[in-house]
């Protein structure tokens, strides 16, 4: 018997006792581990007969030792052997005896070699350990940090730095799960004491994800350029049914998506890596390989787009507000790739300088699948303006008139006058402007499938958005289908067709800004048509005096007497107007593409395709003449048509046809470690845009379905048409090479011709190069186990932009001035004879050519610890030869300024994104964050000119479109203080240079410009005039960011997105309008804080009609920080926990609830920093998705 | 296998053919839907249309201009028209009080831009006429006629530029080179000098008259009339500094005026403001206000692309209109009312009596009384820019100030008074024996006020030139001239002309607009702004 018990030593030295104990235990355990498997069978064969009466266990053991060859090994410090037992037995084996003996104790036994039996505490005895090493199946490198769990228990561990592990099993046999992000999970049954080495196989997801790069696709690890993507899953979770841009918001570095607000028809604006031009800054959209081109592309709504204002207005009218993305059903989209740098986008050289957005739609594969998804939601805007009531309004106006000695209080504001209107009840003008219970609905159904030879995808969708404002909504039906088929070993054909029908009501009677400015006493409802209140009192009287012999009918002397009923600022009764007219757009868009591809040799693909995008848009509107009394600028309703007409009708049909012919040869070949991919492409694009319009002032029916323009009304009918054409031709060559997936080199050259330039300047060459080094593929990096992938890449390239007013190289003769001759006393004809004249538009600039944008990139992409994805990128995007309208002196007498290559703008910054994903048991998580910085600077300008105005100035050395105006100095608290100032300084914006207490003063920063000082003299003079205007803020955000969180637990999933922009200023036009305290329009309740002798405000000036102090000039008073942090989206879903085996009819069913714009943190004082006129709505949604 | 290869080859050839056909370079030669200059100026009609385009630009001075009509900028500074008590409705009312006349003011830049656009259009025509072969004109004389019209119109713009801005750049060429877009200020009377040169030539090129179908186009006497007027203006400018030159210009003016032989004072004064009596025998130059049949869109400029723009004159300021809460922003001044002898028949054609105290008893009638509306308070009544009565009074002044016969001068004034009184007795003739030059000059000035008040831009331009010449002194002017309050709406103490005069260092010009200053650093802003 071996008994370690040594009382002497133990008692003498407790520390030694502990040490000894530890040593002993380790010895025991060591024995256990080493000897277990080879334990002899002696103990089972040795049988004993016995009878123990009230003996201690220790005595029993001693007895057994005495009677057999068995030796026991125990330590009384751990087990209590003093317990008395009584037991007997005949011919029992020793193990049976020991089991009975120890059953009630805390000890257990184990039989070792040499008849040695160890008795130790149960918890020690039960250890059944498995050890081993885990390696990567491909590289053989050890994998640290692998999560090892005994299935069905909470027992788990991780591999150490060398990939080694050791785990104890609760029982002899168990199953162990080995899991690690990026690897396929393995489950292996083990038995106790075994050694188990495991090879983990990479899951392809992270590194082999495929990215659409334009004219092809590529594994993510092989991408050498700057491309951001979002996938179908993200799009679905972005809660948008309208337009997929919003799914990109905050998810991509380098891509700033500014929402179009609550108007379902408006197009969000997208800026890729800053703003390179003050012209067309929208990126190029390529849908399934078809570059989309629309008439007036990018010119809509923007007066700074290189087009003259009239042309822009005209384009806006003609093309409507059709948003490219809203014609694509987001649920049909497989992925969106944004090509951000020139080396990526050079393949679309033409028009690619603002970046390229590649949209790839879904294709079918595998077993036939039916997908259904639907969502339903409510939306509203979170905040509204608070306006003055009647008494506050009267007080404000009375005070304002009293403060301007040049003006007299209007009678309707004067309680002592019989015309006083202040006794009328207050009206809430704003509320009826909002759609009640505004809903969004989206239903989609698709069928898809395929096999090795062919695949198909067919989908229908319906989307409806009631809009935030009344009569401003969108309905859309989409049909999508594509079929791809291999017709022999050598040929593949495919057809892709998309049809969209949209009906949009765009008839909000007026802006909310105008509407809330209505004097609060003006009634909405009254005794006018449709129950609305007239805005004017008017009589139309026909005076039948004999007309001149040859006079036109409208030449007769009609009388129109109009009196505004509610003061000078009587507003249009917008609701009355809205009830008597309609204006809607219907559009039909067809996007079709067919291709044939031959593969005569392996790796050689020859493809030809023809794509046609055509849409028709019909704008229809009518207005009944009875609405005259709601207007304040009424047309005489008796005058038009045959003088008994009910109203006017007009229709405008526009037709856009975009034909793209495309031919490409692609060859890829691998020999040894060398991989080549060569592409040649030729593309021709033609666009036709035609508009035909028809209108009549003769309407004979009030029944809407009977409103047509009749041919017989030719005397009152007006028609016109116009055609715009454009054409582009491009050739592309691309060579991609990589060696062993380690060294990459891509070179692209594109040559493009545009109709927009003179023949000798028509062609532009756009080269691009990029290179990458996948460092992690090097042998010397293999040992860095925490670094799973690392790539360094760099690129340079050039892109073009030709989007300007067409034919600028020609001097056009414009046929629009008109004048009338031949009025003489003899004929008494005041009208004369209408005669067409001509003018030359501006001077031709034969030299104009492509605007070129060069980009340079440096980036690191890395995957760390299998769980962290990092990309850090520096970019520099410099646009040279900006093709823009010059700002020439008006003295040269041009109608419009000519276009020239006039400037250079640089955008540079960093993009950083980091993603972390992981899994703990059933809990999965994925967090991504990204931030982009933009430094925008105008490098040079034609003639060093400064162009623009207060709302957007463009000047060398500044951020483009900066805010320019006066800087507030302060508010005078007394007339004496004001007089002291005006004795020193003359303010030309103050009437008669008179300032009073409560007026603002503005900083006198500079002196007047002179021959030596182009814009101002740095030495201040004594006059505050336009030369004292200065930089007030930048309109291009310095940074923007996004955070996306995706969590999953069993069937539950949660995704949340946050977006934000920072360091950006905007001029708050609405606040300017609603706190100007001049002009009699109703004001917001903010004006209650205005300066008065009893409220000596230092920030809010006094009320003064006519603004004699010039307080409302464009100044930093209304410039605000427009940064924001928005909780853009939340979606919480639950997928029913069944599999196809369990439920035959369905594969997957998921329910979700969600919300958009749940909060927005911003210092902006208005309703919404993104869109003040039509704020981003807050919406709550729920939906269902099912696959059958 | 062989078959397949052949098949593939055929397909490839077809595809390649289709693509290369599509990619032909000539596919980029898309024709501009508008005619281009190289295809134009090939026929007489082309020249005619270009000239119509130049005339049409005048509309931009007179149209509604989205409620920012420019009339106030030349009507209000004078002492004939002022704003009513509730006149603050109008964005231009500062011109009445000489406040807020800033380089950024819309009217200041709109006038500038319009005048230079006319200069550009006419200059192109002049160049094209010089370049063009006479053979393309079906009527060989037409080449001269059109060039003469262009020269006339350009001169009128230079004359207006000089009067409005003083130092505006003088531009006589078509600028098509980015390196030559900046022109410095003109000096002294350079603008008038150019107008005098151009008009002298125009008078030799223009026809004596047009047929009825072309009425409204300028003719030789129009050029002589404007020539004489420009000479009188230059004479006034030089009167104090170079009296000899001044006298010379006065003499030349008389010579030019003497070439006007076909014009008469029409018997009825009111015919000059009657929409049905346009282009009558008294008329030398009118803006041909019109209105397109039922389609006039008064919110769009005449030039508006591909849509119907304005062709009319806006007169909404003179009447009680909805825009002004039923008020009338511009009314005759008390001084003007007082300037007429009771019984002068011109009174009825000039203003009407009203009871509303806000208008001091009077409202404007000239042009309104015999108007034909084009809709929205616009008018088809032509503004008479230059008429014979104006010529006669200028001639009287020229004769008087160049040392000519005083009785001749008085005789010319009496012609005006004779026509004015028609068959009546008031106003009676002035005494032709009067020898005091100042008295006679005062008669001329007063007669000009009565005859030409509120009729385009006469009064303010006259006041300024008489100040240059020293006939009156604006530096101490309270605008009242003996009548209490220059501006009838408020006491003289509030009238800011002296402030304005002091602040602009006696400069009576408007500022050069910001749009020019910002893009042309060779131009120096006028003093005082």
How do strand A717-739 and strand A674-696 relate by DSSP bridges?
antiparallel
CA geometry: angle A511, A517, A520, nearest 5 deg? 130
What span, in angstroms and rounded, lies between the C-alpha atoms of B100 and A990?
7
What span, in angstroms and rounded, lies between the C-alpha atoms of A1145 and A1122?
51
CA A937 to chain CA mean position, Å = 24
What span, in angstroms and rounded, lies between the C-alpha atoms of A1108 and A403?
9
Q: A369-378, A544-553, A959-968: which range is least confident on average?
A: A544-553
Q: What is the mean pLDDT of residues A754-783?
A: 86
pLDDT greater than 90 at residue A1114: yes
Would you state the pLDDT for residue A115?
A: 76
Would you state the pLDDT for residue A8?
A: 40
Is the CB of residue B502 less than 8 Å away from at least one CB of chain A?
no
pLDDT greater than 80 at residue A300: no
What span, in angstroms and rounded, lies between the C-alpha atoms of B241 and B218?
34
> Which tokens sit at A19?
């040490």
Q: How close A450 gets to chain B, by Cα (Å)?
A: 26
**Under an 8 A CB cutoff, do B102 and A988 touch?**
yes
What span, in angstroms and rounded, lies between the C-alpha atoms of A795 and A771?
6
Q: What is the mean pLDDT of residues A845-872?
A: 88
Burial letters B121-137, b for 16+ CB under 10 A, else e: bbbbbbebbeebeeeeb
Q: A668-682, B369-383, B387-401: which range is least confident on average?
A: B369-383
Contact (Cβ atoms closer than 8 angstroms) between residue A458 and residue A446: yes
Digit-coded pLDDT (tens) for B441-470: 999 999 999 999 988 889 999 999 999 999
Residue A988: closest CA among chain B residues belongs to which residue? B100
Q: How close A434 gets to chain B, by Cα (Å)?
A: 29
Is the CB of residue B369 less than 8 Å away from at least one CB of chain A?
no
Would you state the pLDDT for residue B481?
A: 44
Digit-coded pLDDT (tens) for B82-103: 876 555 556 677 788 787 788 8
**Under an 8 A CB cutoff, do B5 and A600 touch?**
yes
CB-based burial label for A977 (10 Å; 0-12, 13-18, 19+): middle
Given pLDDT bands bounded at 50, 70 and 90, which one contains residue A7? very low
How do strand A356-361 and strand A284-287 relate by DSSP bridges?
parallel
Best interface-test mutation with A: which of B5, B23, B158, B214 has the largest number of A CBs within 10 A? B23
Choice between A909 and A156, residue whose per-residue pLDDT is larger: A909
Q: How close B458 gets to chain A, by Cα (Å)?
A: 23
Q: Residue B4: its chain A contacts at CB < 8 A?
A: 488, 490
Digit-coded pLDDT (tens) for A210-258: 777 777 777 777 787 888 888 877 777 777 767 777 888 888 888 888 8
Backbone angles phi, psi at A593, to 5 degrees: -150, 135
**Under an 8 A CB cutoff, do B178 and A723 touch?**
no
Q: Which of A825, A892, A1011 sits opposite B524 (nearest CB)?
A: A1011
Q: How close B237 gets to chain A, by Cα (Å)?
A: 24
Digit-coded pLDDT (tens) for B137-177: 888 899 999 999 999 999 999 999 999 999 999 999 998 88
- Number of A:B CB contacts under 8 A? 349
Judge if pTM exceeds 0.90.
no
Given pLDDT bands bounded at 50, 70 and 90, which one contains residue B39? confident
**Under an 8 A CB cutoff, do B37 and A555 touch?**
no
Q: Residue B120: its chain A contacts at CB < 8 A?
A: 892-894
Q: Which of A662, A827, A1010 sits opposite B524 (nearest CB)?
A: A1010
CA geometry: angle B89, B319, B289, nearest 5 deg? 105
**Under an 8 A CB cutoff, do A662 and B35 touch?**
no
Contact (Cβ atoms closer than 8 angstroms) between residue A661 and residue B15: no
Q: Residue A557: its chain B contacts at CB < 8 A?
A: 372-373
Q: Residue B524: its chain A contacts at CB < 8 A?
A: 1010-1011
Would you state the pLDDT for residue A297?
A: 59
What span, in angstroms and rounded, lies between the C-alpha atoms of A463 and A475?
6
Would you state the pLDDT for residue B234?
A: 95
What span, in angstroms and rounded, lies between the C-alpha atoms of B491 and B477?
14
Would you state the pLDDT for residue A713?
A: 67
Residue B109: closest CA among chain A residues belongs to which residue? A890
Is the CB of residue B59 less than 8 Å away from at least one CB of chain A?
yes
Residue A718: closest CA among chain B residues belongs to which residue? B295
Choice between B477 and B410, residue whose per-residue pLDDT is larger: B410
pLDDT greater than 70 at residue A128: no
Tell me the sheet residues that pair with B373.
B379
Is the CB of residue B258 less than 8 Å away from at least one CB of chain A?
no
Write the DSSP symbol of residue A425: P
Given pLDDT bands bounded at 50, 70 and 90, which one contains residue A39? very low
Q: Which of residues 385-444 of B touch A (CB under 8 A)?
A: none
Burial letters A1114-1126, b for 16+ CB under 10 A, else e: bbbbbbbbbbbbb
Residue B517: closest CA among chain A residues belongs to which residue? A889
What span, in angstroms and rounded, lies between the C-alpha atoms of A650 and A693?
7
> What ipTM is given for this predicted complex?
0.89
Would you state the pLDDT for residue B484?
A: 42
Given pLDDT bands bounded at 50, 70 and 90, which one contains residue A281? confident
Would you state the pLDDT for residue A27?
A: 46
Measured CA to CA in angstroms, residue B296 lies from A696, A705, B307, B308 at distances of 14, 29, 10, 6
Contact (Cβ atoms closer than 8 angstroms) between residue B370 and residue B350: no
Q: At what angle do helices A57-67 and A94-102 cross, to 10 degrees?
A: 170
**Under an 8 A CB cutoff, do A806 and B311 touch?**
no
Q: Residue A804: its chain B contacts at CB < 8 A?
A: none
Q: How close B278 gets to chain A, by Cα (Å)?
A: 5
How do strand B81-83 and strand A1065-1067 relate by DSSP bridges?
unpaired
Best interface-test mutation with A: which of B40, B60, B88, B314 has the largest number of A CBs within 10 A? B88
Q: Residue B174: its chain A contacts at CB < 8 A?
A: 843
**Under an 8 A CB cutoff, do A762 and B28 touch?**
yes
Q: Which of residues 195-234 of B touch A (CB under 8 A)?
A: 212-217
Q: Residue A995: its chain B contacts at CB < 8 A?
A: none
3-state secondary structure of B257: helix
**Under an 8 A CB cutoff, do B292 and A729 touch?**
no
Digit-coded pLDDT (tens) for A696-708: 888 888 888 888 8
What span, in angstroms and rounded, lies between the C-alpha atoms of A374 and A457?
18
Q: What is the mean pLDDT of chain B?
A: 85
CA atoms within a 13 Å half-sphere pointing along the CA-CB vector of A983: 6
Contact (Cβ atoms closer than 8 angstroms) between residue A918 and residue A867: yes
Picking from A437, A431, A570, A568, the residue whose alpha carbon sits closest to that of residue A512 is A431
CA geometry: angle A450, A453, A459, nearest 5 deg? 30
CB-based burial label for B325 (10 Å; 0-12, 13-18, 19+): buried
Cis omega (within 30 of 0) on the bond before A884?
A: no
Q: Residue B522: its chain A contacts at CB < 8 A?
A: 1011
Q: Which of B19, B29, B279 sits opposite A663 (nearest CB)?
A: B19
Would you state the pLDDT for residue B5?
A: 61
A961 C-beta neighbours (distance < 10 Å), count: 19
CA B12 to chain CA mean position, Å = 70
Backbone angles phi, psi at A583, to 5 degrees: -150, 110
Tell me the sheet residues that pair with A23.
none
């Amino acid at each position: 018997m071996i008994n370690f018990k040594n009382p002497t030593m133990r008692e003498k030295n407790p520390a030694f006792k502990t040490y000894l104990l530890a040593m002993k235990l380790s010895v025991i355990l060591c024995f256990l581990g080493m000897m277990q498997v080879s334990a002899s069978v002696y103990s089972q064969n040795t049988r004993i007969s016995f009878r123990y009466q009230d003996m201690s266990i220790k005595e029993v053991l001693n007895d057994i030792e005495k009677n057999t060859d068995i030796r026991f090994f125990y330590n009384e410090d751990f087990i209590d052997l003093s317990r008395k037992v009584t037991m007997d037995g005949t011919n029992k084996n020793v193990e049976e005896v020991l089991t009975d003996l120890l059953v009630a104790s805390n000890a257990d036994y184990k039989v070792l070699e040499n008849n040695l039996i160890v008795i130790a505490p149960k918890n020690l005895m039960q250890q059944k350990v498995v050890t081993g090493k885990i390696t990567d199946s491909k590289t053989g490198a050890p994998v640290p940090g692998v999560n090892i769990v005994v299935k069905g228990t909470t027992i788990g561990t991780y591999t150490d730095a060398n990939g080694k592990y050791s785990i104890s099993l609760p029982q002899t046999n168990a199953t162990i799960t080995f899991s690690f992000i990026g690897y396929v999970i393995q489950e292996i049954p083990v038995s106790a004491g075994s050694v188990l080495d495991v090879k983990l196989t990479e899951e392809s997801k992270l590194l082999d994800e495929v990215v659409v790069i334009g004219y092809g696709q590529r594994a993510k690890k092989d991408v050498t350029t700057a491309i951001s993507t979002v996938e179908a899953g993200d799009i679905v979770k972005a809660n948008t049914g309208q337009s997929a841009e919003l799914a990109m918001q905050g998810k991509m570095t380098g891509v700033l998506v500014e929402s179009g607000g609550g108007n379902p028809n408006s197009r969000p604006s997208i800026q890729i890596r800053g703003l390179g031009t003050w012209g067309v800054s929208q990126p190029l959209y390529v849908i399934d390989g078809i570059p989309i081109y629309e008439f007036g592309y990018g010119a809509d709504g923007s007066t700074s787009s290189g087009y003259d204002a009239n042309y822009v207005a005209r384009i806006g009218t003609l093309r409507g507000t059709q948003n490219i993305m809203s014609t694509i059903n987001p649920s049909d989209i497989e992925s969106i790739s944004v090509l951000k740098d020139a080396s990526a986008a050079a393949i679309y050289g033409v028009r690619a300088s603002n970046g390229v957005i590649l949209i790839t739609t879904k294709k079918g594969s595998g077993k036939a699948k039916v997908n259904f998804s639907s969502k339903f939601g409510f939306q509203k805007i979170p905040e509204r303006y608070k306006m003055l009531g009647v008494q506050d309004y009267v007080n404000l106006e009375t005070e304002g008139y009293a403060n301007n000695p040049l003006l007299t209080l209007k009678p309707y504001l004067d309680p002592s006058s019989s015309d006083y209107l202040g006794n009328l009840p207050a009206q809430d003008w704003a509320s009826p402007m909002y759609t009640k219970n505004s809903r969004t609905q989206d239903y989609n159904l698709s069928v898809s499938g395929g096999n090795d030879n062919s695949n198909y995808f067919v989908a229908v969708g319906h989307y409806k958005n009631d809009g935030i404002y009344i009569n401003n909504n969108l309905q859309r039906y989409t049909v999508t289908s594509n079929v791809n088929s291999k017709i022999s070993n050598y040929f593949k054909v495919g057809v892709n067709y998309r049809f969209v029908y949209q009906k949009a009501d765009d008839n909000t009677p007026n802006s909310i800004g105008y509407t809330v400015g209505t004097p609060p006493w003006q009634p909405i409802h009254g005794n006018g048509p449709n129950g609305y209140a007239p805005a004017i009192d008017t009589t139309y009287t026909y005076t039948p005096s004999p007309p001149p012999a040859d006079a036109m009918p409208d030449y007769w002397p009609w009388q129109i007497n109009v009196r505004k009923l509610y003061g000078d600022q009587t507003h249009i009764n917008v609701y009355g107007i809205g009830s008597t007219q309609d204006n809607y757009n219907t559009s039909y868009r067809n996007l079709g593409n067919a291709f044939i591809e031959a593969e005569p040799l392996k790796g050689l693909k020859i493809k030809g395709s023809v794509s046609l995008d055509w849409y028709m848009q019909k704008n229809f509107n009518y207005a009944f003449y009875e609405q005259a009394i709601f207007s304040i600028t009424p047309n005489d309703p008796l005058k038009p048509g045959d003088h008994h007409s009910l109203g006017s009708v007009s229709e405008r049909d526009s037709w856009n046809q975009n034909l793209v012919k495309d031919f490409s040869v692609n060859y890829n070949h691998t020999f040894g470690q060398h991989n080549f991919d060569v592409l040649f492409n030729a593309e021709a694009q033609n666009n036709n845009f035609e508009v035909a319009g028809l209108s009549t002032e003769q309407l004979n029916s009030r029944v809407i379905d009977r409103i047509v323009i009749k041919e017989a009304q030719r005397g009152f009918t007006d028609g016109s048409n116009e055609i715009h054409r454009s054409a582009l031709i491009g050739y592309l060559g691309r060579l991609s090479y990589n060696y062993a997936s380690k060294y990459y080199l891509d070179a692209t050259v594109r040559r493009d011709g545009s109709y927009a330039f003179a023949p000798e300047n028509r062609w532009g060459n756009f080269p691009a190069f990029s290179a990458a080094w996948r460092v992690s593929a090097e042998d010397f990096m293999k040992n860095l186990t925490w670094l799973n992938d690392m790539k360094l890449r760099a690129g340079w390239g050039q892109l073009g932009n030709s989007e300007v007013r067409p034919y600028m190289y020609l001097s056009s003769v414009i046929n629009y001035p008109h004048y009338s001759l031949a009025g003489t006393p003899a004929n008494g004809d005041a009208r004369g004879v209408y005669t067409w004249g001509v003018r030359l538009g501006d001077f031709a600039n034969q030299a104009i050519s492509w605007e070129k944008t060069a980009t340079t990139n440096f980036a690191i992409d890395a995957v760390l610890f299998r769980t962290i994805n990092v990309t850090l990128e520096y970019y520099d995007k410099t646009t040279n030869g900006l093709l823009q309208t010059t700002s020439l002196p008006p003295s040269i007498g041009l109608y419009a300024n000519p276009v020239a290559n006039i400037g250079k703008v640089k955008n540079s910054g960093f993009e950083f994104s980091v993603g972390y994903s992981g899994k703990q048991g059933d809990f999965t998580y994925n967090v991504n964050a990204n931030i982009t910085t933009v430094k925008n600077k105008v490098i040079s300008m034609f003639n060093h000119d400064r162009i623009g105005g207060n709302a957007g100035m463009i000047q060398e050395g500044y951020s483009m479109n900066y805010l320019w105006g006066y800087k507030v100095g302060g508010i005078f608290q007394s007339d004496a203080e004001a007089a002291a100032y005006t004795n020193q300084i003359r303010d030309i914006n103050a009437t008669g240079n008179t300032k009073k207490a409560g007026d603002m003063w503005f900083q006198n920063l500079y002196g007047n410009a002179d021959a030596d000082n182009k814009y101002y003299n740095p030495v201040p003079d004594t006059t505050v005039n336009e030369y004292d205007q200065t930089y007030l803020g930048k309109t291009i955000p310095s940074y923007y960011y996004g955070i996306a969180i995706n969590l999953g637990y069993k069937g539950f999933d949660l995704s949340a997105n946050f977006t934000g922009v920072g360091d950006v200023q905007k001029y708050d036009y609405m606040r300017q309008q609603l706190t100007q305290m001049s002009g009699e329009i109703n004001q917001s309740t903010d004006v209650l804080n205005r300066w008065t002798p009893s409220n000596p405000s230092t920030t809010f000036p006094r009320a003064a009609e006519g603004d004699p102090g010039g307080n409302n000039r464009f100044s930093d008073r209304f410039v605000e920080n427009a940064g924001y942090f928005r909780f853009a989206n939340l979606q919480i879903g639950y997928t029913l926990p069944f599999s196809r085996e369990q439920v035959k009819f369905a594969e997957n069913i998921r329910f979700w609830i969600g919300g958009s714009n749940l909060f927005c943190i911003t210092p902006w004082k208005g309703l919404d920093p993104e869109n003040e006129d039509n704020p981003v709505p807050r919406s709550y949604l729920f939906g269902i998705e099912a696959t059958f | 296998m062989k078959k397949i290869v052949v098949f593939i080859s055929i397909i490839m050839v077809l595809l390649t053919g289709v693509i290369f056909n599509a990619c032909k370079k000539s596919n980029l030669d898309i024709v501009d839907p508008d005619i281009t200059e190289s295809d134009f100026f090939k026929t007489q009609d082309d020249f005619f249309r270009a000239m119509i385009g130049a005339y049409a630009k005048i509309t931009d001075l007179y149209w509604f201009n989205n409620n920012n009509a420019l009339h106030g900028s030349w009507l209000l500074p004078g002492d004939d028209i002022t704003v009513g008590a509730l006149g603050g409705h109008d964005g231009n009312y500062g011109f009445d009080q000489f406040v807020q006349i800033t380089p950024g003011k819309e009217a200041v830049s709109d006038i500038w831009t319009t005048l230079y656009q006319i200069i550009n259009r006419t200059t192109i025509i002049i160049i094209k006429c010089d370049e063009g072969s006479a053979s393309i004109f079906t009527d060989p004389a037409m080449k001269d006629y059109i060039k003469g019209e262009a020269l006339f119109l350009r001169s009128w713009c230079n004359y207006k530029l000089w009067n409005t801005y003083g130092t505006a750049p003088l531009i006589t060429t078509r600028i098509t080179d980015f390196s030559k877009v900046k022109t410095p200020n003109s000096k002294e009377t350079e603008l008038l000098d150019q107008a005098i040169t151009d008009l002298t030539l125009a008078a030799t090129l223009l026809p004596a008259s047009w047929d009825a179908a072309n009425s409204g186009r300028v003719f030789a006497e129009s050029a002589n009339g404007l020539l004489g007027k420009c000479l009188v203006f230059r004479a006034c400018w030089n009167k104090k500094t170079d009296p000899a030159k001044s006298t010379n210009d006065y003499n030349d003016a008389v010579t030019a005026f003497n070439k006007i032989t076909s014009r008469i004072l029409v018997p009825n004064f009111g015919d000059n403001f009657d929409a049905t009596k346009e282009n009558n025998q008294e008329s030398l130059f009118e803006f041909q206000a019109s209105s397109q049949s039922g389609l006039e869109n008064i919110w769009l400029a005449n030039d508006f692309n591909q849509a119907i723009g304005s062709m009319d004159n806006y007169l909404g300021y003179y009447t009680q209109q909805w825009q002004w809460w039923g008020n009338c922003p511009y009314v005759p001044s008390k001084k003007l009312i007082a300037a007429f002898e009771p019984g002068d028949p011109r009174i009825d054609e000039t203003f009407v009596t009203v009871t509303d105290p806000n208008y001091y008893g009077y409202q404007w009638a000239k042009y309104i009384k015999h108007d034909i509306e084009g809709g929205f308070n616009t008018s088809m009544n032509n503004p008479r820019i230059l008429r014979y009565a104006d010529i006669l009074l200028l001639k009287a002044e020229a004769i008087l100030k160049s040392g000519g016969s005083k009785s001749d001068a008085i005789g010319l004034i009496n012609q005006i008074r004779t026509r004015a009184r028609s068959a009546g007795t008031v106003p009676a003739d002035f005494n032709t024996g009067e020898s005091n030059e100042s008295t006679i000059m005062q008669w001329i000035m007063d007669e000009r006020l009565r005859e030409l008040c509120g009729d385009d831009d006469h009064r303010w331009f006259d006041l300024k030139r008489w100040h240059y010449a020293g006939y009156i002194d604006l530096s101490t002017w309270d605008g009242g001239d003996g009548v209490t309050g220059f501006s009838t709406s408020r006491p003289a103490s509030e009238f800011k002309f002296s402030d304005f005069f002091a602040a602009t260092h006696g400069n009576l010009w408007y500022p050069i607009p910001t749009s020019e200053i910002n893009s042309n650093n060779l131009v120096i802003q006028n003093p005082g702004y």
